[in-house]
Amino acid sequence: MRIAIGSDHGGYPLNEAVIELLESLGHTVIDHGVHSPAAADYPDAARAVAESVQRGEADRGVVLCGSGVGVTITANKFRGIRACLCHDTYSAHQGVEHDAMNVLCLGARIVGVELALACVRSFLSAEFTNEERHLRRSNKVEAIEREQAASA
Ligand code: RB5
């Protein structure tokens, strides 16, 4: 898979380990930084990853910040992005299977490296089930997104 990844300084402590895992699993990494602890704004990281997925140059994305909250809020502003903060492996795969999550968000100040990597593995090994009830619910989410865009 082609995976876009981006982080602010808060996510930096996990960022390199996640990139290493993605490469070791054979994924193509679209790397939006950062690669140092220097201050960086989380909306820039989330925008870069969300736009990579929106443009279709990435199949999925991973974004990191300190808590994971800022990047989650930001990524979900982008049409077609279904970004979720998952610090457990069940949510990381069920979010894809039921909710068509396409961006995984992680908080490096909250979760340790091994659990974060397990969440990434769960996220990437899952596929949307295409079951009728999940499609129906996903379509309702997209209808809300369209309504909101039209009322802006
Ligand atoms: C940066 O200090 C921090 O606010 C950011 O990484 C993130 O936790 C925001 O949600």
Q: What is the pLDDT of residues 48-93, one digit of tens each?
A: 999 999 999 999 999 999 999 999 999 999 999 999 999 999 999 9
Q: Ligand 1 centroid vs 130 CA: distance in angstroms?
A: 35
* 33: its two tokens: 């930084």
CA neighbor of 67 nearest in space, from 117, 7, 3, 20: 7
Which atom of ligand 1 lies nearest, measured to the CA of 10? 6
Q: Is 134 designated active site?
A: no
Residue closest via CA to ligand 1's atom 9 equals 70
Q: How far apart are CA 104 and CA 82, in angstroms?
A: 9
* pLDDT the model gives residue 28: 98
Ligand 1, pocket-test mutation among 41, 65, 72, 73, most atoms within 8 A of CB? 65
Strand ranges, E, within the chain: 2-7, 28-31, 60-65, 83-85, 103-107
Structural domains in the chain?
Answer: 2-151 (3.40.1400.10)
* pLDDT the model gives residue 93: 98
Which residue among 65, 84, 86, 119 is the active-site one? 65
Q: Is 84 designated active site?
A: no
Q: What is the pLDDT of residues 112-144, one digit of tens each?
A: 999 999 999 999 999 999 999 999 999 999 999
Q: Is the pLDDT of residue 152 over 90?
A: no
CA neighbor of 102 nearest in space, from 133, 137, 136, 138: 138
Any atom of ligand 1 within 6 Å of the Cβ of 42: yes
Q: What is the pLDDT of residues 16-42, one digit of tens each?
A: 999 999 999 999 999 999 999 999 999
